[in-house]
Structure 1
Amino acid sequence: MPLLQQGLTIRAPAMIVTIYGDIVVPRGGVLWMGTLVEICARLGISETLVRTAVSRLVAAEQLVGERDGRRSYYRLASGARTEFAAAARLLYGPQAEADGFLIHHAPGLSDEVARRFRLGRMGPDLYLRPNHPENATLSGLTFSADVMKDGGLLAEYAATLWDLGSFADEYRAMIDLFSPLSAALEQGETLLPADAVSARLLLVQVYRAVLLRDPRLPADALPLDWPGLAARRLFARLYRSLSPLADAHIAARFEGRDGHLPAETAETAARLQSLSLETAD
C-alpha cells in the first residue's frame, strides 16, 4: 500500500467524497465518524484533517450531520445526490459511444461552467461537446452536429479545443501506478482486507479525477495512442479483483446508523456486474 501512495497527493475532502461515493452511498448513505477516521488513517490522513474536511463538506452542503448520543454520523445531503449519481454512472456504469456532437450558443457562459461541462470553445459564445445521453442541459441554443466530410481531420481539430495531452498523461500515470498491483493479484498474491479497501479507494480516486474532466470524445476524435480505453479496462479489472476482500472488510468493520454496513447491496452488485462486461474478452 505505501507504494501506491508514493507520488499521490491525497486530500482529505476529495478522499471523503470518494469514500461516500464508493462505499457509503450504495449501502444506505450514512457513516459513523469513527469509521471515517479509521478509513482515512490507513491512507495517512489524520483525524484532525478528517474533522476539518467534514466540517467544510457540511458547510458546502455536501454532507449532513446527525447525532446519536455521543456518536456523530454523516450522510449525503439531498442536494448532492444528483452529482454523486452522475459520477457513479460514469465510474461504474456501461460506457457508451457519443452520438455525434452538440454545438451550443451560450452567451455569457463562464470559463468555470465551460470546464465543468467539459465544453470545447469553438469561438465567441460558441461551444462543442460530444452528445452523451447524460449531458446536463445548458441554456441557450443547441444544435446537433455530425461530421459530414474530411473526418480524418477531426482528431486534429479536437486537440485544439480540449487539452487531450494532459488527460492522456493522467491516464498513463494511473496505468503505471496500478498495473503492478493488478498483475500481482492475477498471479495469486493477496492483500490484507483493510489494504484492499484502501487500494480500491485510491484506484477510484485517481481514475475519477481524470474521468470527470475527460469529455469522452468519439474514437475518431481521439489520438491513435489514446490510453483512455486501457485505463478503463484496468479500472474495471482491478476494481473487481479488490472487491471480495474489500467488501468483506466493510461488512466486518464499517458502521452506519443501523449497525455494520452490508457487504453487498443491489447497487454494489449492479456496479460489479456492469464492470464485469468490460473485462470479458
Structure 2
Amino acid sequence: MNSKLKQLIDDFIQHEVLSGTSLVMTIFGDSIYHRGGVISLASLIQLMDVFGFNERSVRTAVFRLVQNGWLSSEKIGRTSYYRVTESSRQRFTTADQKIYSFQHSEWDQKWDLVLLSSVEIENKLNLKKELEWLGFANIASNVMAYPGCDQQKLQHLLLNHNMTEQVVVFRAETLDLWQESYPTIKRMVSTNWPIEELHQRYEKFISTFREFFYLVENEDFDPVQAFQIRILLIHQYRRILLKDPNLPFELLPSNWPSLIARNLSTNLYQAVFHRGDEFFLEYARTAEGGMPPAHPQFYKRFGGLKQLEMMA
C-alpha cells in the first residue's frame, strides 16, 4: 500500500463531510447501475468500510434510499439485496450522462422560459426542483429560465409530471439593441445562478484531486486505494455537476474552471479505473454470485475505457 496516498486519502475522508446516503448513491451510480443495478447488503457494507462507514450507518443509508424511492429491497434466505428502482432509473441515466459525458454546445442566443402561474401550490415546489435539475433558475415571480435548454428533456419532464395544461413554455431571444450588452446579461446570470459558489467549488476540487493525480501518476498504488480514489473523485465531481447548470461559456466568467476539472477527472478516473474495478468485483455479490458484465455504455465514460474483463 502506498503510504503517501494512504495519508492523503485518510486526510480527505477525515476532513470532508461525507454523507453515507450520498456515498452509497455514488457507488450505485458509478459501479453498480451498469452491472444490473443490484448488490447484496453485505457487499455494500464491505465497500463502504474502506471509507470509514460502519454496518449501522450503511443500513441507515439504504433504508433512507428505499424510503425515498431510489432503491428497493428484497430478502433471499438471510441475505438482503438492494436494487435500483424503475422510477429512479431515468435519474441515474441523466446523472451518468452529466458526469461521464461532456456535452456543451454553442449558444444560439435563445432563452427558454417556463411560466408557472397556473401550477397548483402543492406541485410548484416539486416542479421548480425538477426544472433546477435541468439548469433552470427562477428569474422572476413564477418564471423559470434557461439559455437554450434541451427541449426534449423539458418536454419529457412536463409530460411525466402531467404539467402540460398548467405551464406555458416560451422561447425568447437576446436582442443586441446596444453595444456591450453581455456584461449586463452576465450580471443577471450571476444573480440568478450560483456562479461564485460553483467557481469556488471547482477550484477546491481541482486543487484537491491534482494531488491525487500527481501521486497515482508517479507512484504505485493498490486496488483498494484505486477504488477509494475513483469513488471519492466521482462523489465530489457529481456534487458539483448536479449543481452546475452547464450554462453557455459566453455567459460565464472568462476564467471558468469547468474544463480544467473535466480534464483532471478524465485523466484521474482512467488512471485508477481498472485497479478500482479489481477491488469492487472481488467483493460485490448478487443473488447469482459475482456481478454480471457491465453494459457497453459503461465503457464509453470519459472518452472510453478498455474492457479488460471482456478480454480476460
Quote the residue 2:279 is aligned against.
249
**What does residue range 54-203 of structure 1 map to in structure 2 within 5 Å?**
54-97=62-105, 100-107=110-117, 108=119, 109-110=124-125, 112-113=129-130, 115-133=132-150, 135-136=153-154, 137-138=157-158, 139=163, 140-149=167-176, 150-153=180-183, 154-187=185-218, 189-203=219-233
**In 2, are the aligned partners of 1:62 and 1:76 still within 8 Å (CA)?**
yes
Quote the residue 1:270 is aligned against.
300
Quote the residue 1:279 is aligned against.
none
Partner-residue secondary structure (3-state), 1:191 = coil
Counterpart among 20, 37, 45 of residue 12 in structure 1: 20
Partner-residue secondary structure (3-state), 2:262 = helix
Moved more, 11-20 or 139-148: 139-148
Count the aligned residue pairs: 275
Runs of 4+ displaced beyond 6 Å: none
Q: Deviations over 1:222-262 (max 9, x none)?
A: 01121122111111111111101111222222212222225
Quote the residue 2:55 is aligned against.
47
Distance 2:99 2:22 in 1: 15
Unaligned runs of 5+ in 2: 1-8, 307-312
Quote the residue 2:263 is aligned against.
233
**In 2, are the aligned partners of 1:197 and 1:249 still within 8 Å (CA)?**
yes
The Cα shift of 1:115 comes to 4.1
The Cα shift of 1:171 comes to 1.0
Q: Deviations over 1:165-207 (max 9, x none)?
A: 01111111111111111122223x1222011111111111111
The Cα shift of 1:41 comes to 0.8
Aligned amino acid, residue 148 of structure 1:
L
TM-aligned CA distance change 1:236 to 1:263, over 3 Å:
farther
The Cα shift of 1:264 comes to 4.9
TM-aligned CA distance change 1:275 to 1:177, over 3 Å:
farther
Aligned amino acid, residue 50 of structure 2:
R
Distance 1:257 1:273 in 2: 32
Quote the residue 2:39 is aligned against.
31
The Cα shift of 1:272 comes to 4.6
Counterpart among 232, 241, 257 of residue 211 in structure 1: 241
TM-aligned CA distance change 1:237 to 1:148, over 3 Å:
farther
* Identity across the alignment (%): 27
Distance 2:19 2:33 in 1: 20
The Cα shift of 1:25 comes to 0.6
Distance 1:207 1:275 in 2: 19
